[in-house]
């Protein structure tokens, strides 16, 4: 067993998990509190990446671009809530799905028109572009460490926000019983808009962080949104803690699955068969986990306390 490799793969899994958490936390907030199925959450992730890419070339620095792009994606999230989500709240989930699926198509095409089909590669500052030698045999790209640190910091900030602030109290109350929150005289519309904008910023941040690795490209959000739904289903819809733990678990399982399944398969099947079946099985792994969770514990691992 190569422990250095295992350690690196764990870091890679952690990085993927934290990115998933950024997307899933917004999704679980919106789904849990607003009871709104937002398929277009992934489009906000994509828009974050493209806006950040343009700003990087405009302002000349990736980090400055992220800081400027964050409020912009928040504003886009607010507008989406005001003009698309709000009229749909009263309808059932199927209408939410139809409406936001339409929004995905519109935003994808809009992105195609504005930025072209090619996708944009984002250059990193030189100090972020290198590698760091953590200890013997473990060399990791600095930028990946930055993603991990940013993800952990954002998670910590969210926990503080949700557990120790007045807004967080309202969010938790809204997740448990929003009719009661409204009856107590809280401006539920503003709360909803704020939550939606926050979710958009979190998704946008994830898009901005991944863009220097995989480029800003059309449809990038549609890949991650499915996995993000898996995360919130495993974690328990509406639960921030559930989203965090499930995201890390899914990230680690996916990465370690891609790294070790072929070796594991080679123990009991011919190497050709292992090489063919391993990629297929590792792609299925997270869905198998979801199916098991749904069968054993349909409410998810950490459902919010009162529903």
Partner 1 sequence: MKKLITAALAATMLTSPALAAEVKVGFVTTLTTGAAIIGNDMKNAVDLAVEHMGGKMGDLDLNVIYGDDGFKPETGKQVTDKLVKQDDVDFVAGFIWSHVLLASRKSALDAGKFLISSNAGPSPVAGKLCHENFFSTSWQNDQTPMAMGEVLNQNGIKSIYLMAPNYAAGKNMIAGVERTFKGDILGKDLTKWGADAQLDFSAELAKAKASGAEAIWVFYPGAAAGAFIKQYHQAGLKDVMPLYTSFTVDGLSLPKLQKANFESVLGSRITQQWDPSLDNAQNKRFVADFKAKHGTYPSFYAAQAYDTMFLIKSAVEAVGGNLDDMDGLRAAMKSANYDSVRGKYTYGNNHMPIQNFYLREVVADADGNWTTKVVSTVYENHQDPYASECAMQ
51 near partner 1 (CB under 8 A):
no
28 near partner 1 (CB under 8 A):
no
226 near partner 1 (CB under 8 A):
yes
| Closer residue to partner 1 (CB): 14 or 88 | 14
168 near partner 1 (CB under 8 A):
no
Question: Which of 165, 189, 214, 292 touches partner 1 by CB under 8 A?
Answer: 214
How many C-beta atoms lie closer than 10 Å to residue 105's C-beta? Answer: 11
| Closer residue to partner 1 (CB): 15 or 28 | 15
User: Torsion angle, CA of 122/253/136/130, rounded to 10 degrees?
Assistant: 0
Question: Closest Cα partner for 36 from 105, 101, 96?
Answer: 96
- How far apart CA 301 and CA 273 sit, in angstroms, is 35
Q: State both tokens at 51.
A: 């806006």
From the list 92-100, 113-121, 183-191, 239-247, the region that binds partner 1 by CB under 8 A is 113-121
Q: State both tokens at 288.
A: 């198998």
Note the Cα 148 to chain centre separation in Å: 13
208 near partner 1 (CB under 8 A):
no
Min dist CB 104 to partner 1, Å, is 13
Contacts with 180 (C-beta within 8 Å, 6 or more apart), sequence order: 173
Per-residue x/- mask for partner 1, residues 55 to 94, rule CB under 8 A? ----------------------------------------
User: Does residue 50 contact residue 115 with C-beta atoms inside 8 Å?
Assistant: yes
- The residues pairing with 140 across neighbouring beta strands, listed in sequence order, are 132
Residue 6 dihedral angles phi and psi, to the nearest 5°:
-60, -40
143 near partner 1 (CB under 8 A):
yes
267 near partner 1 (CB under 8 A):
no
Note the residues at the interface with partner 1 (CB under 8 A): 2, 4-5, 8-9, 12-13, 15-16, 112, 116-124, 129-131, 139, 141, 143-144, 210, 212-215, 217-220, 222-223, 226, 255-256, 258-259, 275, 279-280, 283
């Amino acid at each position: 067993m190569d422990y250095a490799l295992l350690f690196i793969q764990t870091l890679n899994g952690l990085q993927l998990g934290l990115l998933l958490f950024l997307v899933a936390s917004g999704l679980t907030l919106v789904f849990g509190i607003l009871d709104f199925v937002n398929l277009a959450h992934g489009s906000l992730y994509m828009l974050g990446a493209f806006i950040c890419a343009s700003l990087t070339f405009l302002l000349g620095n990736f980090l400055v671009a992220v800081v400027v792009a964050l409020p912009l994606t928040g504003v886009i999230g607010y507008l989406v809530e005001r003009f698309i989500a709000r009229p749909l709240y009263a309808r059932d989930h199927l209408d939410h799905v139809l409406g936001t699926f339409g929004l995905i198509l519109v935003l994808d095409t809009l992105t195609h028109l504005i930025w072209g089909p090619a996708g944009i590669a984002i250059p990193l500052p030189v100090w972020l572009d290198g590698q760091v030698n953590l200890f013997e045999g473990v060399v990791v790209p600095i930028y990946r460490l930055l993603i991990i640190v940013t993800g952990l910091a954002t998670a910590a900030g969210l926990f503080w926000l949700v557990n120790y602030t007045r807004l967080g109290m309202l969010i938790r109350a809204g997740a448990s019983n929003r009719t009661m929150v409204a009856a107590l005289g809280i401006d539920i519309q503003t709360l909803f808009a704020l939550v939606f904008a926050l979710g958009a910023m979190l998704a946008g941040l994830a898009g901005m962080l991944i863009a220097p690795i995989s480029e800003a490209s059309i449809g990038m959000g549609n890949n991650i949104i499915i996995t993000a739904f898996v995360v919130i289903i495993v974690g328990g819809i509406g639960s921030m803690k559930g989203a965090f733990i499930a995201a890390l678990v899914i990230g680690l399982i996916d990465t370690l699955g891609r790294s070790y399944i072929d070796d594991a398969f080679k123990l009991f099947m011919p190497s050709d068969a292992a090489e063919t079946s391993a990629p297929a099985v590792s792609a299925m792994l997270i869905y198998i986990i979801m199916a098991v969770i749904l069968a054993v514990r349909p409410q998810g691992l950490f459902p919010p306390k009162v529903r």
